[in-house]
């Protein structure tokens, strides 16, 4: 399976279990790896035979900016399901970063990474 990766998609969302997170929002960063067969697109040099990663990026940002959830696990799942709606995408790995998580000790990042595929 071939891979198309998008790294560092940034969007402001209002996800989290704390009221302050819901009210003020924060930046979330998403990394995606889409698994698909790129051979048909490459053979014909045809965008219609692969995934349009610009559209995927816009859809993922819309999910992050959309309806708030408590957990970034839930956010990652919603993003994965959005990606799998694209016909050629057979598998997706989603990593959601929450670099401004409300943690009381010094840290660099919090991430949740999931892999989902078509059944």
Written as six digits, the tokens of 67 are: 């309806």
Q: How far is CA 35 from CA 38, 46, 71, 89, in A?
A: 9, 18, 25, 6
Report the alpha-carbon distance of residue 39 to residue 65 in Å, rounded.
Answer: 33
pLDDT confidence tier of residue 109, bands split at 50, 70 and 90: very high
- Percent of the chain surpassing pLDDT 70: 100
* Active-site pick, 10, 20, 85, 98: 98
Task: Check residue 66 and give its pLDDT.
Answer: 98
List pLDDT tens digits, range 9-60. Answer: 999 999 999 999 999 999 999 999 999 999 999 999 999 999 999 999 999 9
pLDDT > 90? residue 119: no
Q: Which residues contact 55 (CB under 8 A, 6 or more apart)?
A: none
98 is catalytic: yes
């Amino acid at each position: 399976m071939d891979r198309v990766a998008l790294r560092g998609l940034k969007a402001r969302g209002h996800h989290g279990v704390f009221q302050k997170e819901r009210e003020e929002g924060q930046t979330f960063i998403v990394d995606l790896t889409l698994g698909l067969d790129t051979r048909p697109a490459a053979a014909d040099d045809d965008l219609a035979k692969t995934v349009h990663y610009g559209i995927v990026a816009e859809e993922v940002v819309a999910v992050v900016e959309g309806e708030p959830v408590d957990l970034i696990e839930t956010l990652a799942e919603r993003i994965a399901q959005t990606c799998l709606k694209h016909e050629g995408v057979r598998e997706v790995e989603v990593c959601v970063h929450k670099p401004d998580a409300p943690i009381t000790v010094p840290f660099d990042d919090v991430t949740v990474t999931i892999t989902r595929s078509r059944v």
